[in-house]
Amino acid sequence: MFLVIHGGAGTITRAKMTPEKEKAYRDELNSALDAGYAVLKKGGAALDAVEASVVFMEDSPWFNAGKGAVFTHEGRNEMDASIMDGGTRRAGAVGAVTTIKNPIRGARAVMERSKHVLLVGPGADAFAKSVGLEIVDPSYFKTERRYQELQDELKKERQGFDHGTVGAVALDMNGNLAAATSTGGKTNKLTGRIGDTPIIGAGTYADNRTCAVSATGDGEYFIRGVASYDIAALKQYKGMGIKQAAEEVLGRLKADGGTGGVIVLDRDGNFTMSFTTEGMYRGYVGDDGIKKTFIYGDESETAKTK
């Protein structure tokens, strides 16, 4: 069993990080790993594990998902999420939701309790309410830190950009893979904008025959490049290892002008945490229960990255 998570990629450098902030992020990453690993350790499904990790990160104000979601140009919080089961290749997603406390749970409900793959906007919020998910007032998502980021962006004072999506990929005891991704999108985005996160094959993909992928980055480029599926396709049809496939796809996107990162895991426990930005919040835990977390681009990852 194995679990890999990410908390977004971007201009993440030591120069921009205080010791207190770095500790807070590492603590949150470790707790997110604990949430998912607890499921796997009990023999639970990969699908439940990725949901648990992402729910933790959605509840944390440190990440751009759920409680920590960024603001649109109009000062709203609109969130996207998706989840996919590698064993059945069933998937569910929500986009531009404003009242679902945990969008990833909304995505799973769409997969399991509707005939659809993607619901967006008020329809998605209403569906989540109808199936008994926790609904909150939109003010729940408004944090001062994210509001200030919008003001900085509006004034063109913000330097750099963090691709603040969260995600998880997992392999359970039965050899099944799953992937989940959740985000608040981009600061100052237009109302109604949907990125790659809820697009199956762009921001999220899982197939036991290949791998599970969760992406973070310039969503428009990941959509155009069908990035997550492209990684799986390179493995399936060209026999590439997942690290090589991930780097090839990210390289193509960067050549077009888009940056970001991916976490990828296959049924043999091979995984990679690849990115083309200065850093990416990330971590993993395997059968031995030892957790490893990373933030910066120059941190050594003693990982199985075939």
Q: What is the DSSP letter of 260?
A: E
Q: Which two tokens stand for residue 32?
A: 């997110």
Between the alpha carbon of residue 252 and those of residues 120, 129, 271, the distances in Å are 29, 40, 20
Q: Is 224 exposed, middle or buried (0-12, 13-18, 19+ CB in 10 A)?
A: middle
Q: Active site residue: 72, 98, 99, 165, which one?
A: 165
Query: Which residues, 6 or more positions from 299, have their beta carbon under 8 angstroms from its beta carbon?
Result: none
Beta strand extents in the chain (DSSP E only): 2-10, 79-85, 91-97, 118-120, 162-163, 165-171, 177-183, 204-206, 212-217, 260-265, 271-275, 279-285, 291-296
Catalytic site includes residue 293: no
d(CA 91, CA 115): 11
d(CA 217, CA 209): 25
Pure H helices in 135-241: 144-154, 219-224, 227-238
Q: Which two tokens stand for residue 114?
A: 């509707």
Q: Which residues are catalytic?
A: 165
